Amino acid sequence: NAGVTQTPKFQVLKTGQSMTLQCAQDMNHNSMYWYRQDPGMGLRLIYYSASEGTTDKGEVPNGYNVSRLNKREFSLRLESAAPSQTSVYFCASRGGRVGGTEAFFGQGTRLTVV
Amino acid sequence: TQLLEQSPQFLSIQEGENLTVYCNSSSVFSSLQWYRQEPGEGPVLLVTVVTGGEVKKLKRLTFQFGDARKDSSLHITAAQPGDTGLYLCAGSTVGSGNTGKLIFGQGTTLQVKP
């Protein structure tokens, strides 16, 4: 039972490089989320998708774009990485017969921008 | 400014002591959740409260949702070293159902010393 799978687990980027973080869930959940976690800041919502085909900005969307490719997959793209985007990124999903309101999280992606 | 304010942000206590963590907001939430996160892992749900004034117990943990659904507390009785971790509250805004925006507080890092 995979749950929520994020790739990659670790990444080092140079300032200005681009990359896409991938997330997939196998629980048939309607909603998917991208968060970043920095020390002392808890989890801050970047973007979310309440259902397939829709996306909305969260608390800290600047510098990021997302794509809800289908019901299973929700990707996060950094077009031009900046050191301020050094963080741990978590993908989550919820909403459906599996878990109800509970959010299920991936293992996280530790991103360093130098 | 985060929508959900948690306090304290850090707590270091001796085994056997009691503690309370608070989660406050000026906004009304349709439901409030508490998660626990271990190092290197994603958060895992402890409890969901949905009714104003609701109290839920999970062994030595007691969760309360404020009457106005703007705040919540987590009380741990006789803390044990195994309770060590990051505790996060999370709220779903009114009207978002169980698939909309999910906002987290800054988190409370709890350290229980033997």
Give the DSSP letter string of chain A. Answer: ---EEEE-SEEEE-TT--EEEEEEESS--SEEEEEEE-TTS-EEEEEEESSTT--EE-S--TTEEEEE-SSSBEEEEESS--GGG-EEEEEEEE-STTTTT--EE---EEEEE-
SS3 content of chain B, % helix, strand, coil (to 5): 5, 55, 45
Q: What is the mean pLDDT of residues A2-19?
A: 96
pLDDT over 60 (residue A103)? yes
**pLDDT of B10-46, one tens digit each?**
999 999 999 999 999 988 888 899 999 998 899 999 9
**Backbone φ, ψ for residue B4 (5° rounding):** -110, 120
pLDDT band at A44 (very low <50, low <70, confident <90, very high): very high
Q: What is the mean pLDDT of residues A37-45?
A: 90
Q: Which structure tokens are listed for A86?
A: 């050094």
pLDDT band at A100 (very low <50, low <70, confident <90, very high): low
Q: What is the mean pLDDT of residues A49-72?
A: 94
Q: What is the mean pLDDT of residues B76-96?
A: 90
Map residue B7 onto helix, strand or coil: strand
Cβ <8 Å between A45 and B103: yes
Question: Nearest Cα to A43, choosing from B20, B96, B41, B46?
Answer: B41
What local confidence, expressed as pLDDT, does residue A95 receive?
81
Count of Cβ atoms closer than 10 Å to residue B23 Cβ: 29
Which of A40, A42, A56 lies closest to B88 in CB terms? A42
Cβ <8 Å between A108 and B41: yes
How far is Cα A73 from Cα A111, in angstroms, rounded to an integer? 20
Cβ <8 Å between B99 and A94: yes
Which positions in chain B touch A94 (Cβ < 8 Å)? 98-99, 102
pLDDT over 80 (residue A1)? no
What local confidence, expressed as pLDDT, does residue B96 receive?
62
How far is Cα A49 from Cα B17, in angstroms, rounded to an integer? 41
